[in-house]
Structure 1
Amino acid sequence: MESVKEVNESATIGCYVKARYVLALMGFLGMVNVHCMRLNLSVAIVAMVNYTSSSMGDNTTINSCQNQTLATLNSSTYQQTGQFTWNPEQQGLLLGSYFYGYVLSNIPGAWLSKKFGFRLLVAIQIILGSIVTFLSPIAAKTSFELFFVPRVLLGMCQGGVAPSLVMAWGTWAPPSERSLLISIPLSGSAAGAVIS
């Protein structure tokens, strides 16, 4: 088992915050970003889909809750409908597509983090995920199939972020602070969900 390097606790002149606490804060903000990008479609799809469109399929398969929703959408109090006519199966595929890429990249992400360093890998993953998210509306307006691809790519970009951040504390944190310093970035998941 590899021994952990001793952490130098001596204060540097002009430096009041230890680097590991800055890293914990940056990890927290990174996880907030990751989860906001992950969950943005889950929130936005409600406004994106045109539920009143005739191409939504046969209304005989819609249950009573959906009938009430359609009645609300068709009422004069709610005039806003989305521009996409995705059926429920397509919506489910889009919402799950992130996790297809996410599952594929967890283990390779942790391995790459160990090989090249977690800071570089996390930065690249978040930047690539941001670019993919930025391009997603263009893909959605082009076609359903083209929108599916960036969602899978987003999952692939972000699958290694959490394992990389957890692995980082093996070298950056003294054993007595590891659980605290791991929990700070991982709590960014919950904060990202709330913000989304």
Structure 2
Amino acid sequence: MLEQIDQLKYENKKLREDVDAVEQYGRRSLIRISGVPEPNDERNTTEVVRKIISDIDPEFKGVDILRSHRVGKLSDPDVNSDPKHRQIIVRLSEPGVKFRILKCRKHLKENANFKSVYINEDLTMLRNNILYHCRKLLKKNKIKQLWTTNGKIYMLDKHDQYYDVTTTTRFVQAVDKLDPSYTTPDGW
């Protein structure tokens, strides 16, 4: 009976990872923009996004944006005097445009209007969670570098060894080598 339970747990984990991979594939043309102020009269995020991207990417064409909108709950101004601005999710015409924009995002820091604006890949909830734990390892100086490419999460350790930690299984295997004392969430 225990053997069968272990087998079912393994199959369930594998299915969750497969579903996550399919969901991430569907996000291959999406980016998230955070830190953009949200005026009360904002009706169309596409114009805001066009302004940001055209300032950093000389090859950008306005038609590269298929859709954009804010995501998340609105801040309650009565509760919070410094409201948090919701992120903007942007669907682009093709993944190649996304990669070009992500390469140009370093120019945001050069523009005084966009110093607090960040452009990132749109990751699934599971991958965002893995990335969060990877950042904790980076802050603890257990790894040298951390980045995402095409929905995959990579780490570089102090010995210049690369780790693809896109799944929870791979993350746990990498953490066992890098920081065995690190506590991973239950179910990983």
Q: After TM superposition, is the score higher than 0.5?
A: no
| Greater RCO (Cα-Cα under 8 Å, separation 6 or more) | 1
Judging by fraction of residues, say which structure has more strand: 2
Range class of TM-score, shorter chain: under 0.3
TM-score, L = length of structure 2: 0.25
